[in-house]
A and B are shown apart, each in its own frame.
Chain A
Amino acid sequence: MKSAVYNFGYFMKEAKTLFRVDFLSNIFSIISIGLIFFILAMVICGWWISSNVVEIIQKEAEINIYPKDGVDISNLIERIHTIDGVREAKIVAEDEAYKRMEEILGREAHILELFEDNPFSSFIEVNIEIEKADSIVEELEKIDDTEYIRDNKKVIDRLQNIESILKVIGVLAMAATGILTLVVVSHIIKQGIYTNREQINTLELLGAPEFFIGFPFILEGLFLTILGGIAAWAMVNLTLHYGYGQVAKALPFIPLPPSQTLGTNMMLMLIFTSIVLGLVGSLFGLKSAR
């Protein structure tokens, strides 16, 4: 243990030497690992955004009920409140409905000016527990006073489908990037061991422990993946900086998480992934080369 601490400087120097000996090949490996990590980060970004959106929409899951003319609204609202899974029910007047649409449309709101009168009618907005949506709709349909019931379940179901697809893609991408990175790193380590086989043989004859011989190679593997991770993070940051705003503008009605939070999360994910894959790849390379 004492020698491991005292030798840390030596291990770092050896790892740098190993890196220098196979410089070009190592640079290409860093670029490859960086691109692999970038793809992984993008898939995870998509997955994270979609689950975030689904979560927000689920929290705001609601059913809109358009009552028949002349119905006692407060009575109807009371009845709706008694249904299991209903969180809140309130009336949204025509003016409020118009205002909301203006907010949603933003700069495109001028389209509403084409109408002479307010095209929206008042309705009852029912905030519900999404998992009970089917039974709530069933109960609401039994009430005669309702003209039309609009639920957003189809939209939510579709989003949930997209989220599960992205989840599967994410898991597959993680597995693929993991395997690819392990192959690249372990190959580089094996190559390094082959190049330095005489030195390794001498150290073995002098009684050097496996740890002493292998540690510089593990550090080299870590250098590769950490530098690859940094390259990927730079690309992710650029993409978020230039691309995220465009997406937010193009899809104003989708509640995207803040890009800074996304950037921080991606950084943490890349640090963790590069350290784990660097360690595992190096150990795998060492094991298979000996």
Chain B
Amino acid sequence: MPIIEGKNVSLVYEDGTKALNNIDINIDTGEIVYITGPSGSGKTSLLKLILGMEYPSAGYLRVMNQLMTKEQASNIRRLRRKMGPVFQEFKLIKGRTALENVLLGMRFLDNYPNDIKEEAYNALAKVGLEHKISSLVENLSWGESQRVAIARAIARKPALILADEPTGNLDVDNALNILELLTSLKDEETTVIITTHATHLIEKMKEGKLLQVHNGEISCESWGCSI
């Protein structure tokens, strides 16, 4: 069953920049999808559309059966509670500890967890930050901040993880660990979409679907493409 379904989707920003051009996209529940492509190719724009930060200028896009249009803004906001976004710039909340940041992403979920602190702690442990739970996020390194952002996303137990360059600031070992952690969520029926430049790392992953984006178009949709 498709979790994301799009037909002839285009995105043109207000200033006239064409980000995506007439793309078709179909992602099934539980799939692992890597989106690669050069800078400015439209990877992040595609994630923004899926998260509802932008709306298609043309075509239609459905995420978890929700039509992604401006008119549906309040429903899309509710839909986001089923998603686990990892932003390129982390979007962690300053003045709060790593644990508080993870907790903050869980406090308003429809299925509010009873053992919220334990789950947040477990998520931080999974990304190897159990020793930093009480550190203020502004005192963490870029790599550590990135892992807090990932912990915040997975702690929400979302149906869909949208990770924008989640390994961008990590060394190879940590990057591989994170990719393995994200792909392991497949077992929990979680769909994971990862944008990355790190093609040398995703080549090492054993499963998943590859989408190559170039000039706002999906140029290739299989592992057979040259990456």
Give A contacts to B, CB under 8 Å: 2-3, 6-7, 10, 17, 198-199, 201-209, 212
Contacts and interface: CB of A to CB of B under 8 A. Distances in A.
Nearest to B82: A207
Chain B: interface residue count, which band? 20 to 34
Main secondary structure of the interface of A (DSSP, over half): helix
Contacts of A2: 112
B91 A3 contact: no
B78 A207 contact: yes
B140 interface: no
B66 to A, nearest CB: 12
Interface of B: 51, 53, 77-83, 85, 87, 91-95, 104-105, 107-109, 112, 116, 152, 156
Given A3-B109, A3-B112, A6-B112, A203 B79 contact: no
B81 A7 contact: no
B107 A205 contact: no
From A10, A206, A208, residue with most partner B Cβ within 10 Å: A206
Contacts of B104: 203, 206
A205 B53 contact: yes
Nearest to B87: A205
10 contacts: A3-B112, A6-B112, A6-B116, A10-B107, A198-B93, A202-B93, A205-B51, A205-B53, A207-B82, A212-B108
Given A2-B112, A206-B152, 8 more contacts: A3-B107, A7-B107, A198-B93, A202-B92, A205-B51, A205-B91, A206-B85, A209-B77
B107 A212 contact: yes
A43 to B, nearest CB: 42
The 7 closest A-B pairs by CB, nearest first: A207-B80, A207-B81, A3-B112, A202-B91, A212-B108, A208-B108, A199-B93
Given A205-B53, A206-B85, A3 B108 contact: yes
